[in-house]
């Protein structure tokens, strides 16, 4: 016997009445914390949902498949789909629920957007990509607009929703265009590592490396994540930390001098950067590591 999946009007509030709103917005934290950070599998017949994941992590369950959530990302859930979520306690973001009748394109319409809206998607956002950054900003503004009942509120909310869906669909399709074969991904990752080795001290952004490789920042993020589980930014930070550790152990330079060699103009920022990724300041880490190597 198949497991029963309940149909909810909105997050389990099955009142038996028709909805008296066309759009609702709240933080993911405020709702998921009431359910021990887990929204069990369910479906909505009349609602389309947009989840903006700004921080934290979790899993999105579409039908029988689970998808890891890494921020920032947008999740779109069409009506009638069995879905659920598991969130970490530090989850940060918004969930927007709107009536399917208020979508700008009918679900399943023979157009790229209509077909995209009819199926669930988890779309990673690269903050260094202009369109992805604009989607993130628009979603934050949507949340603010919902909270503040200013004149023209419904028109502004409708414009924000339409813009978010169109741009997210574009980002998703661009990220999936011309998917590289595994051997091509390996070649690109090898080239990226060579570029990082050459330029990591200059602290160039991920967009620089994407440009050098002839791909978009979003596509570079997809390649790196699929091959390493990290983002380009995390690879760059890892290289800086690796070199900082090498110099702290095998050179006599002060922490400030090593920071300067690695492109940190501000010694305090270098210490904060090192602390963020290792849990210790450069000075403390150096003393402990030297002691360990000397058998103390």
The string of pLDDT tens digits covering residues 93-102 is 999 999 988 8
pLDDT of residue 55 exceeding 80 = yes
The pLDDT tens digits of the residues spanning 242-290 come to 999 999 998 888 999 999 999 999 999 999 999 999 999 999 999 998 8
**pLDDT given for residue 2 in this prediction:** 52
What value does the CA radius of gyration of the chain take, rounded to a whole number of Å? 23
Strand order in the sheet with 92-99: 23-27, 92-99, 47-55, 73-77, 121-124
What percent of the chain has a predicted confidence (pLDDT) above 70? 87
pLDDT of residue 3 exceeding 80 = no
Strands 38-42, 121-124: pairing is unpaired
What is the band of 21 on the pLDDT scale with cuts at 50, 70, 90? confident
Q: Kindly report the pTM of this predicted structure.
A: 0.60
Architecture, CATH, for domain 23-176: Sandwich (2.60)
d(Cα 170, Cα 140) in Å, to the nearest integer?
Answer: 19
Enumerate residues 6+ apart whose C-beta is below 8 A from 292. none
Ranked by mean pLDDT, the top range of 123-132, 222-231, 278-287 is 278-287
Backbone phi and psi for residue 169, each to the nearest 5 degrees, phi listed first? -60, -40
Angle at 119 between CA 36 and CA 93, to 5 degrees: 35
| 2-6, 144-148, 158-162, 272-276: range with lowest mean pLDDT | 2-6
pLDDT of residue 291 exceeding 50 = yes
**pLDDT given for residue 149 in this prediction:** 83
Does 182-293 match 23-176 at the fold level? Answer: no
Domains of the chain, by residue range, sit at: 23-176, 182-293
CATH superfamily assigned to domain 182-293: Homeodomain-like (1.10.10.60)
The pLDDT tens digits of the residues spanning 65-117 come to 899 999 999 999 999 999 999 999 999 999 999 998 888 777 666 667 878 88
């Amino acid at each position: 016997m198949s497991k029963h999946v309940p149909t909810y009007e909105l997050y389990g509030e099955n009142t038996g009445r028709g909805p008296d709103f066309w759009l609702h917005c709240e933080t993911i934290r405020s709702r998921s914390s009431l359910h021990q950070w887990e929204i069990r599998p369910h479906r909505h017949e009349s609602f389309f949902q947009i989840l903006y994941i700004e921080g934290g992590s979790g899993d999105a369950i579409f039908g029988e498949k689970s998808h890891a959530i890494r921020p920032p990302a947008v999740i779109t859930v069409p009506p009638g789909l069995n879905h659920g979520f598991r969130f970490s306690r530090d989850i940060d973001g918004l969930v927007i629920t709107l009536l399917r009748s208020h979508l700008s394109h009918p679900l399943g319409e023979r157009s790229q957007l209509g077909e995209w809206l009819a199926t669930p998607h988890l779309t990673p956002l690269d903050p260094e990509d202009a369109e992805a950054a604009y989607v993130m900003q628009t979603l934050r503004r949507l949340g603010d607009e919902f909270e503040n009942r200013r004149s023209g509120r419904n028109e502004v909310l409708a414009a924000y929703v339409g813009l978010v869906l169109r741009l997210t669909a574009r980002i998703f399709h661009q990220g999936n265009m011309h998917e590289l074969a595994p051997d091509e991904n390996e070649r690109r990752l090898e080239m990226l590592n060579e570029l990082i080795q050459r330029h990591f001290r200059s602290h160039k952004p991920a967009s620089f490396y994407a440009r050098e490789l002839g791909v978009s920042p979003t596509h570079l993020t997809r390649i790196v994540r699929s091959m390493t589980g990290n983002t380009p930014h995390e690879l760059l930070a890892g290289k800086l930390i690796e070199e900082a550790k090498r110099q702290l152990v095998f050179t006599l330079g002060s922490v400030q001098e090593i920071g300067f060699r690695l492109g940190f103009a501000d010694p305090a920022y270098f210490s904060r950067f090192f602390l963020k990724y290792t849990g210790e300041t450069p000075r403390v880490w150096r003393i402990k590591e030297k002691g360990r190597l000397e058998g103390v």
